[in-house]
Amino acid sequence: MKIIETELVDCYIIEPDRFGDNRGYFSPYYIASNLKELGFKGVVQANRSKSSKGVLRGLHYQKNPKCQAKIVEVIKGSALDVVVDIREDSKTYGKWIKVLLTDTNNRQLYVPRGFAHGFLSLEDDTIFEYLIDNDYAPDLEGGIAYNDPDLGITWDEMFREYNIQKPLLSEKDLRRKSLAETNIHFKRSEL
């Protein structure tokens, strides 16, 4: 398993080993001891979503005491995964990255606690998988407006590059506020 640092503190691209031949491949895509070193506490829940091209999900987080870290990957199709560090005491607070995840590039993204997470589906029938280290708590879920101007995420460039005329968002995500308006206070030192 290869661990690749990103520009954001504590956020990593993971490339699991893949062994294959003319019959297909085998991949140990989750090794608890390797991921524990990154801060992942172990799988409590596993989720999948299916999305059409142009679906934008996010930017989501879950508040304490049920804050979540995630290991995400695409098992069918492709998506641009976008994460934002929203831990106030982190040197990369307010910064974001995007990572292309496809069913063929053998990449996962480790999203630590205290990050907002979202993705843009680039193909119809994209299946996205999440391994999560804490229970889902609907009363603690939160989110940030995907197009918060203070974050400066270059969504319009992504839409043009992948020929997406208008993103498809849930009603809830259409009503999200900016990071400054959320009153969320994650501390890296407390997660």
Residues catalogued as catalytic: 60, 130
Q: Do residues 79 and 121 touch, judged by C-beta distance below 8 A?
A: yes
Sheet of 96-102: strand order equals 96-102, 78-85, 115-121, 56-62, 141-143
Give the whole-angstrom CA distance, residue 149 versus residue 191.
Answer: 27
Give the whole-angstrom CA distance, residue 157 versus residue 164.
Answer: 10
Q: Is 46 exposed, middle or buried (0-12, 13-18, 19+ CB in 10 A)?
A: exposed
Give the whole-angstrom CA distance, residue 4 versus residue 124.
Answer: 28
Whose structure tokens read 């307010």? Answer: 94
Three-class secondary structure of residue 92 per DSSP: coil
Of all helices (H) and strands (E), which one includes residue 114?
none
Q: And the tokens for 111?
A: 């999203």
Three-class secondary structure of residue 35 per DSSP: helix
